[in-house]
Chain A
């Protein structure tokens, strides 16, 4: 198990955004998380990555570390990387700086070496830059490396955010709606890149996605959230036919008798 939560809860005032969720994720799996808007998917991400503090009684374990009360930067240093629904691109930095800032946890040198400006630092910085350029070439942004991130198009921004999250060589990558707002062609392209990256870096993935086709095609397993609770879990095929899931998305499924009653009144 790379990620495990027990009784994970989070309430905002009286609202239980996440309510006693037990979640387990084995290594090398691609897990999809679906659920209606406001069902707690993004809150779940924010709790796991440490951006929100979870309520007392919760327990989160990542790769053998208890990260329930760990600050986000330390969680990242254990190898958990994530993207944000609203991208949170570093608008006023160049594309290459964006990606290189994702490398932060792997920077090998110490602060005082950097102050003195030893040769070793510049060699290592160049090596980092080369590695990150390779990554940019891989996602197809190499030509734009020196432009400001704010000058990219919507699809390119999604790729850049992905590259930035990969830069730290994470063990677990959490993608919050990676394909939101993309055209179908771009979605296919993006999913292809994500799959290639998974192979290349041996990633475990959690993907929040509203485009069900993406989830059904790529994920090994799916967890469904509704009103802060986990209502179903299983392979995409199992989840698709689960009554609770259909209810959450489309309303209650009625049998013939109930239907006749409802219509007859």
Chain B
């Protein structure tokens, strides 16, 4: 066991390969109908977005409410590339990631001068502007949405149903989570956290604050772009501007906050919980926003570090007690 642990520590991707193999068997073993595969794909898409949002908001502390706009950019880059050039998933995915990265730069520039609620307002405007631009642009098929976006195929095998597309979304999710894990565990993650805590002190400690802020925005935009492209190609391959409203943004925020801002697994835990709750409460759709708003408020009040921080705290206190023989509580 010790040896296994040290191997995982040196080569963390092995853990991700194991996770991949386990998740690959889930549809055939656990799922009873196609809808569950569809739900799983939605969870994976949300995990990718939330992992990205956790980088910029949880780690770097930049309050962005325009992230759903970046998600829309990813989706509509994929959609329009198919619509006008007939490109398939394997071409649209990387292009969507790159295009969204540029939008991330634009979204990040206000953060040089604005912070806290003011930055939130600026990015909210940015996100809404993107949605309205799409909604009013004939180029993007405005409110008709883009339909029949094809599912990817690989070596003659077409991932054309939810239970097949599951593997595509899962692969992207695992890769994205692995990247976010590596970035945040390294010195880059620490630099992000220092900027969140105190930008002036971070600068005095040798951290290029502007560079790292923009880097955080670019990275999280790339995650959102990837998620957007995966979402666009998901069967039945239909995207509509209404899928990218502030309401979606609130659910993304609820994921990150509930999972734990600045916790390495925060966005992931939150995305799983919130997506499932969202689905179960579909009959109560009138109250869904209320529920998520309350979730955010209550989590911030009673569990400021979210579920992830809560679990961490439990183990930390145990370890501290074992080491020093004293209680340490706050």
Contacts and interface: CB of A to CB of B under 8 A. Distances in A.
B10 A122 contact: yes
A104 B330 CA distance: 29
Interface string A89-101: 1111100010011
B323 interface: yes
A147 B207 contact: no
Contacts of A114: 182-183, 186-188
Contact of A88 (B190, B200, B207, B262): B200
Which of A89, A104, A119, A146 has the most chain B CB within a 10 Å cutoff?
A: A104
Contact of A115 (B183, B190, B262, B319): B183
Contacts of A72: 203-204
A17 B186 CA distance: 40
B277 to A, nearest CB: 27
A147 B181 contact: no
A117 B190 contact: no
Contacts of A147: 316, 320, 328
A81 B222 CA distance: 35
B316 A146 contact: yes
Contact of A107 (B187, B208, B209): B187
A102 B207 CA distance: 9
Interface in B193-209: 193-194, 196-198, 200-209
Contacts of B208: 71, 73
A168 B205 contact: yes
A125 B187 CA distance: 8
A121 B201 contact: no
A115 B191 contact: no
A122 B324 CA distance: 28
Interface of A: 49-51, 71-73, 76-77, 81-82, 84, 88-93, 97, 100-105, 107, 109, 111, 114-117, 119, 121-123, 125, 143, 146-148, 150-151, 164, 168
Interface in B1-41: 9-13
B159 interface: no
Q: Decide if the interface of chain B is mainly helix, strand, loop or mixed.
A: helix
Contacts, number: 116
B198 A90 contact: yes
B179 A115 contact: yes
A105 to B, nearest CB: 4
Nearest to A123: B10
Interface string B305-317: 0000000000010
Nearest to B10: A119
A143 B262 contact: no
A18 to B, nearest CB: 18
B101 to A, nearest CB: 13
18 contacts: A50-B203, A71-B208, A77-B206, A84-B204, A90-B198, A90-B201, A93-B194, A101-B205, A104-B205, A104-B206, A105-B205, A107-B187, A109-B186, A109-B187, A115-B182, A146-B316, A146-B319, A168-B205
A97 B190 contact: yes
Contacts of B215: 111
Contact of B197 (A92, A102, A119): A92
Nearest to B215: A111
B10 A73 contact: no
A7 B215 CA distance: 38
B201 to A, nearest CB: 4
B10 A93 contact: no
B205 A100 contact: no
Closest 6 CB pairs of A and B: A117-B182, A76-B206, A105-B206, A90-B197, A114-B186, A88-B201
A147 B10 CA distance: 25
A117 to B, nearest CB: 3
Contact of B328 (A73, A121, A123, A151): A151
B226 to A, nearest CB: 14
Given A76-B205, A125-B186, A164-B205, A51 B193 contact: no
A50 B208 CA distance: 13
Interface in B144-196: 178-179, 181-183, 185-188, 190-191, 193-194, 196
Interface string B109-143: 00000000000000000000000000000000000
B9 A71 contact: no
Given A90-B198, A107-B187, A119-B11, 14 more contacts: A73-B209, A76-B203, A81-B205, A97-B193, A100-B187, A101-B191, A104-B205, A104-B207, A115-B179, A121-B182, A122-B9, A122-B12, A146-B316, A164-B205
